Amino acid sequence: MNDSQVNPTPAPLSLIFDTVERNIPMQISTILAQIDLGAMALPEFQRGYVWSRDQVRELMTSLYKRYPVGGLLIWKTRTEGAHARGDGQLQPGYVDLILDGQQRVTSLYGVIRGKAPAFFQGNKDAFTNLYFNIETETFKFYSPKEMDGNPFWVSVTELMQPAGVGPFIAKLQEPSVDPAKFGAYITRLNNVASIQTLDFHVDLVTGEEKTIDIVVEIFNKVNSGGTKLSKGDLALAKICASWPDARKELQNRLSRWSDAGFYFDLDWLLRNITTVTTGQALFTGLANMPVPTFQQGLKQVEQHVNHLLNLLSARLGLDHHRVLGSRYAFPVMTRLLATHGGALSNIRDQNRLLYFYIHAFLWGRYAGSTESVMNADIRVMEEADDPLAGLITILQRSRGDLRVRAGDFAGNSLGARFYPMLYLLTRTLKAHDWGNGGLELNAHMLGKTSSLQVHHIFPKAQLRKRGYKQGEINALANFCFLTQIANLEISDRDPAEYFATVEAAYPGVLASQWVPMDRELWHIDRFRDFLATRRELLAQAANSFLDSLITGAASSEPVSEPALERVHALVLTIPGGADGEELEQIRTCNDWVEAQGLPRGEELYELSHPESGAPLAVIDLAWPRGIQEGLSQPIALLLNESEEVEEAVNQAGYTFFTDPVHLCAYIERTVLAVAETGD
């Protein structure tokens, strides 16, 4: 597609599917050979492999039993101009790109070949080392204690090799094998080996008129049970058609921000490019954009985002991804910078932009109907004589007023909307540490010898003993930020005891973090009253700071190193972790696992995003590569953790347990193969 070419309007899907060649039989072994030859691949817009081991076993079980497992949808297109995932060499002429069936084809390739295909992106442990039991006719991943020396367990990959069942016949001559069942065992082995001779039914999309728009539309239609392509995926696919290096260049920018502690995705970056280059938020603006225009937009966005990250971190202390707030305010702000020469050098304008940004994340301005809200804000901004005044006015109209109230701090968990505000107040209003000399928590110390950590003012262990629920324990008003040194010194001590010690050593530091100075509220039986009073103090502090931005009274002195210029590493605060009592349970459990001859788990393991490296949560006890390393799924133990931590661990593909007893029982049953007995 050249820069001036206009894509035709997509045809109705009913007409599209009428032209698809349907139910073409293709043997599984042929499909795998086509992949090896570069005649079959994945289109660039396809995402990576996401199946779990359970799904792979279910697929193989269904094929073994000759159950239907669905067909494939293939797009036959010219190799020239076809943008496939991975570095594999494509055959000249035409190539078949898999639109639907990637997970099944990749799983079969991995099981049968014993390795990942060239286009693979994901966790190859999901399909390697699969075994079949000829006695029970079940599939299971390799478990040495259960399978080594057991003639009934055979490697599926070895069975799929050209020699077939021949090498396994000798094993069936052992005394432990019942000769009367010899024939049945051979039949079962042949049934597994012949899976690769089964046919998949293929629907083939062909024709020069099949544009990327139509193909992606078909993909989304047939993939309704899986992850649909986003509008950003489609926009990027169009850009990649004219600029094959586009995805790599975009990822390079995302990686640079990731290195600085900020984690964005492709959709977000594309949205910024769209607003900067077109003045509107809809991705349709990228449909026929000349590549040089897109490249210039990417360059501008990189500069504008850098400016904003440095401004937000230096002036507000929002210096890493967990406290950044509304990421989707950025496309509006980068558009503003694009129309103001790339930066706001006027302190008054900087203050008003900060005021707008804070209120955007406090009230969830871009939490829903993102495109329409962005377009409305950009339109107001560009029609107003004073763009920043226009943005603030539209916020006021949508809210009624922009005052923060005590109830706004009533949320819980580190994912709450007002969590960044709590961090911001700590950084900007001269809050002091509760140890470490009572130093001010500002740019003069952070990033050098200390880093901020979340501290439960009333310790989790103390509150749980008295029956408080997790939601109250993780109330925002029960959080403050301390250096690691102070956090360790305080540990899980009773506030009535350690508050008095801290205040005596460093007068005023408790009040600097909005702790009520009524000592009656320091007792655990007054915990709820403490929270209510501290919420009032936090609301007052928030309003005072926000007012100072508008009136010009706010200090322009930096409270943190500019994020992209920081020299010293930043230690991020992430949800999860254990206290003293929990650590004892974790270590007892870990000792038991080790006593069984299995590897110890990693205590207080930091879970990270597989692509960006963003820290997601702290897992109390984790086996990220499985109890049998590389051979079983990831396992985690979570003690008294929030839903936020559980969700992060679940999304990362872990099987998790909230009780050491249940974890140990699982290990006995699935790894040690200890038989369960009935009554």
* E-assigned strand segments in 236-363: none
pLDDT, average across residues 254-260: 89
Domain that holds residue 283: 234-401
pLDDT at 602: 85
pLDDT at 224: 46
Please check whether residue 425 is in contact with residue 537, taking contact to mean a CB–CB distance below 8 angstroms: no
**Lowest mean pLDDT segment, chosen from 387-396, 492-501, 663-672:** 663-672
| Dihedral over Cα of 276, 277, 282, 283: its sign | negative
- Inform me whether the pLDDT recorded for 17 exceeds 50: no
pLDDT at 450: 47
pLDDT digits 0-9 by tens, 502-515: 999 999 999 999 99
Are 295 and 419 in a shared domain? no
| Range with the largest mean pLDDT of 42-46, 100-104, 174-178, 570-574 | 100-104
Judge whether 635 lies within some domain: yes
Relative to beta strand 94-100, strand 72-78 is: antiparallel
**Domain end among 229, 252, 279:** 229
H or E stretch including 236? helix 231-242
**Domain end among 515, 537, 565:** 565
Please check whether residue 268 is in contact with residue 274, taking contact to mean a CB–CB distance below 8 angstroms: no
Are 546 and 599 in a shared domain? no
Please check whether residue 264 is in contact with residue 254, taking contact to mean a CB–CB distance below 8 angstroms: yes
Judge whether 575 lies within some domain: no
Per-position DSSP letters for 178-203, written without gaps between them: -GGGHHHHHHHHHHHHGGGGSEEEEE
Are 121 and 74 in a shared domain? yes
Are 78 and 166 in a shared domain? yes
pLDDT at 205: 80
The set of residues, in sequence order, having a beta carbon less than 8 Å from that of 620 and lying 6+ positions away, is: 576, 577, 578, 582, 586, 603, 604, 636, 637, 638, 639, 641
pLDDT digits 0-9 by tens, 98-123: 888 888 999 999 999 999 998 887 77
Please check whether residue 657 is in contact with residue 674, taking contact to mean a CB–CB distance below 8 angstroms: no
- Inform me whether the pLDDT recorded for 499 exceeds 90: yes
- Inform me whether the pLDDT recorded for 9 exceeds 70: no
**Domain end among 537, 565, 593:** 565
The set of residues, in sequence order, having a beta carbon less than 8 Å from that of 372 and lying 6+ positions away, is: none
Helical segments of 506-614, H only: 527-551, 580-595
Judge whether 288 lies within some domain: yes
The set of residues, in sequence order, having a beta carbon less than 8 Å from that of 511 and lying 6+ positions away, is: 517
pLDDT digits 0-9 by tens, 578-619: 666 777 888 899 989 888 878 888 887 878 766 555 667 788
Are 557 and 588 in a shared domain? no
pLDDT at 573: 54
Please check whether residue 324 is in contact with residue 318, taking contact to mean a CB–CB distance below 8 angstroms: yes
pLDDT at 671: 74
Judge whether 570 lies within some domain: no
The first and second tokens of residue 177, run together, are: 């094998």
Are 87 and 135 in a shared domain? yes
The set of residues, in sequence order, having a beta carbon less than 8 Å from that of 323 and lying 6+ positions away, is: 317, 419, 420, 423, 424
- Inform me whether the pLDDT recorded for 444 exceeds 60: no
pLDDT at 679: 33
Between residues 422 and 584, the one the model is more confident about: 422
The set of residues, in sequence order, having a beta carbon less than 8 Å from that of 518 and lying 6+ positions away, is: 533
Comparing CA positions, the residue from 201, 467, 420, 458 lying closest to residue 319 is 420
pLDDT digits 0-9 by tens, 205-244: 876 666 655 666 666 665 544 445 566 766 777 787 678 7
Please give the tally of structural domains in the chain.
4
pLDDT, average across residues 136-155: 90
Rg (alpha carbons) of the chain, rounded to whole number: 30
Are 12 and 50 in a shared domain? yes
pLDDT digits 0-9 by tens, 458-477: 998 899 889 998 788 889 99
> What does the chain come to in residues?
679
Comparing CA positions, the residue from 254, 253, 299, 293 lying closest to residue 277 is 293
- Inform me whether the pLDDT recorded for 484 exceeds 70: yes
Comparing CA positions, the residue from 20, 2, 1, 8 lying closest to residue 76 is 20
Band the pLDDT of 295: cuts 50, 70, 90.
very high
CA angle 475, 476, 477 (to 5 degrees): 90
pLDDT, average across residues 319-334: 90
- Inform me whether the pLDDT recorded for 3 exceeds 50: no
pLDDT at 449: 39
pLDDT at 578: 66
pLDDT digits 0-9 by tens, 151-168: 899 999 999 998 888 888
Q: How far apart are CA 80 and CA 93, in angstroms?
A: 7
pLDDT at 675: 39
Q: How far apart are CA 112 and CA 333, in angstroms?
A: 51
pLDDT digits 0-9 by tens, 261-286: 888 888 899 999 999 999 999 887 88
Are 39 and 127 in a shared domain? yes
Are 560 and 466 in a shared domain? yes
Judge whether 571 lies within some domain: no
Are 31 and 151 in a shared domain? yes
Judge whether 16 lies within some domain: yes
Are 540 and 456 in a shared domain? yes
Please check whether residue 160 is in contact with residue 193, taking contact to mean a CB–CB distance below 8 angstroms: yes
Judge whether 573 lies within some domain: no
Relative to beta strand 635-637, strand 655-657 is: parallel
Comparing CA positions, the residue from 670, 674, 592 lying closest to residue 628 is 670
